[in-house]
C-alpha cells in the first residue's frame, strides 16, 4: 500500500510560496485516527528534499495552534525548512479521557503510557519518534535531517525526546518547557496516571534529570518569558540550567522579561529558533 492511500488531505493553503497542508491517517501506534499539519517550503521537490523541524505543542493544543499563530512560515520558506506539527494526543471514540485539561485528550505528554486505561492509545513518544517521521519521510520531499522544538508540555517533549535519542535530531529548542515535571503539578498528575507511582519510571521523561546525566549532547536553546504565570510552580527553568552546568550541556537558556506563556511570546522569537535550527541542519 502506498502512502497516498494511508494519508488523507484535509486542507491546503499556499503560504510564502510554499504549502501549508493538513492530513489525517490511521496510526498503528496510537490505535486511532491522527491528524498532523505540515509546511512545505517552495524549495521542496522530488529532486530537492528539505530538512524538517518537528514541533510539539502544549496542553489543550492541536496540530493547528502553531501553524495558525506562530508566524513561522515566512522564515521557514526563506530557510528552505519544512515544519511538521502533530496533534498533542490520541483522540476519538473509545480513547480514554479525563475531565481535567491537563490529562487525557490534548495532554499526551509525549510518553508511552504503561498504565490502564491509558496504555491502549497513549504512546505519543513512539508516535513522534518513530511512526510519524517514517510516514513524513515516505510521503513528502523531506530528508532525514531533523530538528525538534516545542512549547510548554511540547517543550518538555522536545527536550526529553532529543536527549533520549542522541544523533537522531541535529538540534533541539523549546519555549517555556516544563523543565522538571517530576516536581511540577502538571507532571506529577500526568506521570502518575500514564507511568504509575514508581518515580524511577518518571526520571526517563524529566528534562532536568536527563540533562544532568547526559554524556552525548544535542545543541539546545530554551526561551522563557519572565512574566509567565506558570514560571515558578510548573516550568522551573532554573532546574534545567543547574543540570546543564553539572554535565556541561550546550544549553542556551534565555529569560525575556515581560513576556508570558502565549503565542505572542512564541511569535516574537520563532525566527531566532528557526535560524538556530537551520544552522545545525545545513
Instruction: Write down how long the chain is.
Output: 282
Catalytic residue among 63, 87, 223, 228: 228
Whole-Å CA distances, 220 to 30, 101, 148, 225: 29, 29, 10, 17
DSSP 245-267: HHHT--EEEEEETT--SSHHHHH
- For residue 246, give the C-alpha cell: 553539572
Catalytic residue among 25, 123, 151, 261: 261
Is residue 282 flagged as an active site residue?
no
Is residue 228 flagged as an active site residue?
yes
Whole-Å CA distances, 62 to 68, 76, 90, 106, 207: 11, 20, 10, 7, 22
Is residue 247 flagged as an active site residue?
no
Cβ atoms 108, 72 nearer than 8 A = no
In DSSP terms, 166 is beta-bridged to 169
Catalytic residue among 15, 149, 152, 214: 152
- For residue 262, give the C-alpha cell: 502565549
Cβ atoms 181, 188 nearer than 8 A = yes
How far is Cα 45 from Cα 160, in angstroms, rounded to an integer? 31
User: Hey, which residues are catalytic here?
Assistant: 152, 228, 261
Amino acid at each position: 500500500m502506498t502512502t497516498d492511500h494511508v494519508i488523507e488531505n484535509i486542507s491546503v493553503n499556499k503560504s510564502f510560496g510554499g504549502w501549508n497542508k493538513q492530513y489525517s491517517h490511521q496510526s498503528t501506534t496510537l490505535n486511532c485516527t491522527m491528524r498532523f499539519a505540515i509546511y512545505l517550503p517552495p524549495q521542496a521537490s522530488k529532486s530537492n528534499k528539505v530538512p524538517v523541524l518537528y514541533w510539539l505543542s502544549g496542553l489543550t493544543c492541536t496540530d493547528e495552534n502553531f501553524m495558525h499563530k506562530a508566524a513561522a512560515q515566512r522564515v521557514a520558506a526563506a530557510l528552505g525548512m519544512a515544519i511538521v506539527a502533530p496533534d498533542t494526543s490520541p483522540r476519538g471514540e473509545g480513547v480514554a479521557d479525563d475531565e481535567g485539561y491537563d490529562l487525557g485528550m490534548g495532554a499526551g505528554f509525549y510518553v508511552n503510557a504503561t498504565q490502564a486505561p491509558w496504555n491502549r492509545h497513549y504512546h505519543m513518544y513512539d508516535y513522534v519518534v518513530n511512526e510519524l517521521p517514517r510516514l513524513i519521510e515516505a510521503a513528502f520531499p523531506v530528508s532525514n535531517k531533523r530538528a525538534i522544538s516545542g512549547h510548554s508540555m511540547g517543550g518538555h517533549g522536545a527536550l526529553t525526546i532529543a536527549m533520549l535519542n542522541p544523533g537522531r535530531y541535529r538540534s533541539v529548542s523549546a519555549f517555556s518547557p516544563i523543565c522538571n515535571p517530576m516536581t511540577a503539578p502538571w507532571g506529577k498528575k500526568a506521570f502518575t496516571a500514564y507511568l504509575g507511582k514508581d518515580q524511577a519510571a518518571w526520571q526517563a521523561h524529566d528534562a532536568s534529570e536527563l540533562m544532568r546525566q547526559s554524556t552525548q549532547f544535542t545543541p539546545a536553546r530554551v526561551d522563557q518569558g519572565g512574566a509567565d504565570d506558570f514560571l515558578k510552580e510548573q516550568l522551573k527553568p532554573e532546574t534545567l540550567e543547574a543540570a546543564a552546568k553539572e554535565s556541561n550541556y550546550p544549553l542556551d537558556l534565555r529569560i525575556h522579561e515581560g513576556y508570558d506563556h502565549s503565542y505572542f511570546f512564541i511569535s516574537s522569537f520563532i525566527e531566532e529558533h528557526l535560524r538556530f535550527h537551520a544552522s545545525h541542519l545545513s
